[in-house]
A and B are shown apart, each in its own frame.
Chain A
Amino acid sequence: MARVLVADDASFMRQMIREIVEAEGHEVVGEASDGDEVVEEFKRLSPDIVTMDIVMPRRSGIDAVKTIIELQPNAQVVMCSALGQESLVQEAMDAGARDFIVKPFKPDAVISTLQKVLEKPE
């Protein structure tokens, strides 16, 4: 069971991810609705894994990944992206994100991606 921090500016998406990961027995320890909040919550909660939306107010998901990786180089961050954001996903991966999931979320794909990252931490 992993402790998950969910970052997305839409509560719709946060609830959806929460439902998917909780159904698998993981615990959602916190939610963040913008790029600043996710950094703060990361520092406060030290989650096992972060799901990170790319497009968020205040600070983009990509900038948030960079800050989090600076804070803790082996942090596990999975990007949430939409179709058409491939280049941004690549930028996030270059910045230290471990993997990505694509909206609209398919529960199986979300779980298998999280599982993969959790089992093979760098």
Chain B
Amino acid sequence: MDLAKYRTIFIEESTEHFAEISRALLDLEKDPASSDAIDTVFRMAHSIKGMAASLDYAPITELAHRLEDRMQEARDAGRVPDGDSLSLLFQGLTTLEGMVDAVKEEEAPQSAPPALLTALSAPAQRSNPPQPSEPAPPAPAEVTRSAAREPAPRVAVEGATEVTAPRPPPTVRVRTETLDRFLSTVGEVILNTSQVRTSASAFDTKRDSALGEGLDRMDRVVGELQRRALELRTTQLLRIVEPLPRAAREIAEQAGKKVEVEIEGAELEIDRSILDRLSDPLVHLLRNAVDHGIEIPEARRAAGKPEVGRIAIAARREKDNIHISVRDDGAGLDLAGVLARAVEAGVLHQDLAEDLPPDAIAALVFEPGLSTAHSVSEISGRGVGMDAVRVTIESLGGSIELVSERGEGTVTSLVVPITAAVQRVLMLGLAEEIVALPISKVERILEVRAEQIERSGAEAFVLIDDELIPVIDLAERVGIASERGEGPVSLVLTEIRGDRVALASQRIVGQQQIYVKPLPELLSGLRSLAGLTILGDGRPMFLLDPNQIA
């Protein structure tokens, strides 16, 4: 038998099972008598045990077996016992995950800590005995199995066998690597098609109708291929938000706090490349909420709040963007503290600090070098600050903002595009070069006479809507000699970190939908470039990241 194949399936299936167990344990935390959750953990542990035994992973088999036993007890008793048993089950889960990680690394899984095995093998400590009405036998370990004679809670058969809940459609597993190669090839097809289009424009397609029709058909099919390929690139948000409740629980436990995490909109689909980069920022926001937002139970009680803090992570789709908010009902931001730190860190001059409005103070947390933690805790103090979060979100073409009310809590909201691969861009001519800007970043395009641009030293400004807006000469910024003529100048109004900025170019070339390729390795360090595409004539065109040019 091909053991490597089964090892791979084992890793995949148990990883999925872990997610389900984690979800079910969190459910049990809210409702220790949830028979669905108890059943799920039981089945998943059982299934992991069976697979591990087939592959001779004795430590995994043993630990999964203990978990299964405990869940069998819970089934018989109709609930998981109170007290430490849930923590114990979480520990068991974390240990199992570690073991499967070892298998992933082609190492032999280590035995579980004996203390954990012992704790899991004794009938769970019943310092709080089950309700007298429940016929739970105080079974010694050897007898627990005989309890299995009581069959599991059953789905009624009652002849009505046709009544079945909808089953998820069949799926196949594909290696991400294979998928990425496929998608990259689709990208090449799309680029080639537009090259063929450009070449064909030299012919009179009206006279050669076969060529014209052929091209139209090709466009339709390629367009369809592109849509399908983009669907393949999307993954449910669930993948990155699913571990969050458990992570929050662990962080809170270490800090002596209690939290409950609610998630909404996890079913939304988003481009995988964006999703992958969204994970760290979300974890960071969650840590912040638990560490700096949610108060310790005593403080919450004193403030008249429920002991358990609430964190709500909600996602919704709006056109081509996904809005995600992380809301906590904690202490809120200490604005005076933020201000003091900003001045201390030299981010802000004392004079300016005097009459800064609250939302501008809140925005300071995104400045580099500003940590609002009173003591850098073990968890938050790992170097990824809010400034890193902002840079990541902005480089994805998104934005982030924070609203906080002292005593009421904090809401951090971020917006990211659903897809990164295909973008509508505005093409700008700079001498012989053409560069592209994401259309989503363009507020307005206008043409002004050269003399309307006022210069003072190296700075340039233009008056638009009674507002003095800084002008950035794109050609100069990109390093192409720009002739400062008398003719009209094309200005693209955009927003950079909340401020309006006008980008000056020599001409507007047009709009186009492009397939954005990642930068080749050699250029990947250039942060002002967000990607490139190949134009119809074979020349490369770079996509600028406006956030990084100013």
Q: Indicate if A99 sits at the interface (CB-CB under 8 A).
A: no
Pick from A44-52, A79-87, A112-120 the stretch touching chain B. A79-87
**5 extra interface residue pairs, beta carbon distance < 8 Å, beyond A10-B50, A12-B50, A66-B157:** A12-B54, A13-B54, A58-B155, A60-B152, A63-B157
Please name 13 pairs of A and B residues whose Cβ atoms are closer than 8 Å in the assembled complex, sorted by A.
Answer: A10-B47, A12-B50, A12-B51, A15-B5, A16-B1, A19-B1, A36-B164, A37-B167, A57-B39, A60-B151, A63-B154, A87-B149, A104-B53
Q: Which residues of A contact B (CB under 8 A)?
A: 9-13, 15-16, 19, 34-37, 39-40, 55-60, 62-63, 66-67, 82, 84-88, 91, 103-105, 107
**Number of residue pairs spanning A and B whose beta carbons lie under 8 angstroms apart:** 83
Contact with A along B138-181 (1 / 0, CB 8 A): 00000001101101101101000100110100000000000000
Q: Indicate if B433 sits at the interface (CB-CB under 8 A).
A: no
Interface residues of B in 4-50 (CB under 8 A from A): 5-6, 9-10, 13, 39, 42-43, 46-47, 49-50
Q: Which residue of B lies closest to A106 (CB)?
A: B54
Q: Which residue of A lies closest to B152 (CB)?
A: A60
Q: Are A87 and B148 in contact, with the CB atoms below 8 A? A: yes
Shortest distance between the CB of A37 and any CB in chain B (Å)? 7
Q: Which residue of A lies closest to B5 (CB)?
A: A15
Q: Are B6 and A16 in contact, with the CB atoms below 8 A? A: yes
Shortest distance between the CB of A43 and any CB in chain B (Å)? 9
Shortest distance between the CB of A106 and any CB in chain B (Å)? 10
Question: With A10-B47, A82-B49, A87-B148 in contact, is A105–B157 under 8 Å at CB?
Answer: no
Taking CB atoms, residues of chain B closer than 8 Å to A36 are 155, 161, 164
Interface of A is mostly: helix
Question: With A58-B165, A60-B151 in contact, is A15–B6 under 8 Å at CB?
Answer: yes
Taking CB atoms, residues of chain A closer than 8 Å to B54 are 12-13, 16, 103-105
Q: Are A35 and B155 in contact, with the CB atoms below 8 A? A: yes
Q: Which residue of A lies closest to B56 (CB)?
A: A104
Taking CB atoms, residues of chain B closer than 8 Å to A57 are 39, 43
Shortest distance between the CB of B370 and any CB in chain A (Å)? 49
Q: How far is the CA of A36 from the CA of B5 in the complex (A)?
A: 28
CB-CB nearest 5 A-B residue pairs: A104-B54, A104-B53, A103-B50, A87-B149, A10-B47
Q: Are A12 and B6 in contact, with the CB atoms below 8 A? A: yes
Q: Which residue of B lies closest to A39 (CB)?
A: B161
Taking CB atoms, residues of chain A closer than 8 Å to B50 are 10, 12-13, 82, 103-104
Q: Interface centre among B9, B50, B56, B154, by most A CB within 10 Å? A: B50
Contact with A along B53-76 (1 / 0, CB 8 A): 110100000000100000000000
Taking CB atoms, residues of chain B closer than 8 Å to A66 are 157
Question: With A10-B13, A12-B6, A16-B54 in contact, is A59–B49 under 8 Å at CB?
Answer: no
Q: Are A87 and B145 in contact, with the CB atoms below 8 A? A: yes
Q: Are B151 and A91 in contact, with the CB atoms below 8 A? A: yes
Q: Are B155 and A10 in contact, with the CB atoms below 8 A? A: no
Q: Which residues of B contact A (CB under 8 A)?
A: 1, 5-6, 9-10, 13, 39, 42-43, 46-47, 49-51, 53-54, 56, 65, 145-146, 148-149, 151-152, 154-155, 157, 161, 164-165, 167
Taking CB atoms, residues of chain B closer than 8 Å to A35 are 155
Shortest distance between the CB of A39 and any CB in chain B (Å)? 6
Q: Are A60 and B149 in contact, with the CB atoms below 8 A? A: no
Q: Are A55 and B1 in contact, with the CB atoms below 8 A? A: no
Q: How far is the CA of A84 from the CA of B69 in the complex (A)?
A: 10
Taking CB atoms, residues of chain B closer than 8 Å to A107 are 1
Taking CB atoms, residues of chain B closer than 8 Å to A39 are 161
Q: Are A82 and B53 in contact, with the CB atoms below 8 A? A: yes
Shortest distance between the CB of B74 and any CB in chain A (Å)? 15
Q: Which residue of A lies closest to B10 (CB)?
A: A12
Shortest distance between the CB of A69 and any CB in chain B (Å)? 12
Taking CB atoms, residues of chain A closer than 8 Å to B42 are 55
Q: How far is the CA of A13 from the CA of B154 in the complex (A)?
A: 23
Taking CB atoms, residues of chain A closer than 8 Å to B165 are 58
Q: Are A12 and B9 in contact, with the CB atoms below 8 A? A: yes
Q: Are B47 and A9 in contact, with the CB atoms below 8 A? A: yes
Question: With A12-B6, A87-B149, A104-B50 in contact, is A59–B13 under 8 Å at CB?
Answer: no
Q: Which residue of B lies closest to A85 (CB)?
A: B148
Shortest distance between the CB of A80 and any CB in chain B (Å)? 9
Q: Are B155 and A11 in contact, with the CB atoms below 8 A? A: no
Q: How far is the CA of A103 from the CA of B64 in the complex (A)?
A: 14
Taking CB atoms, residues of chain B closer than 8 Å to A56 are 43
Shortest distance between the CB of B158 and any CB in chain A (Å)? 10
Q: Which residue of A lies closest to B39 (CB)?
A: A57
Q: Are B53 and A62 in contact, with the CB atoms below 8 A? A: no
Q: How far is the CA of A80 from the CA of B425 in the complex (A)?
A: 59
Shortest distance between the CB of B9 and any CB in chain A (Å)? 5
Taking CB atoms, residues of chain A closer than 8 Å to B6 are 12, 15-16
Q: Are B151 and A82 in contact, with the CB atoms below 8 A? A: no
Q: How far is the CA of A34 from the CA of B50 in the complex (A)?
A: 16
Q: How far is the CA of A30 from the CA of B244 in the complex (A)?
A: 38
Shortest distance between the CB of A51 and any CB in chain B (Å)? 13
Shortest distance between the CB of A101 and any CB in chain B (Å)? 12
Q: Which residue of B lies closest to A10 (CB)?
A: B47
Q: How far is the CA of A34 from the CA of B145 in the complex (A)?
A: 23
Question: With A63-B154, A63-B157 in contact, is A15–B145 under 8 Å at CB?
Answer: no
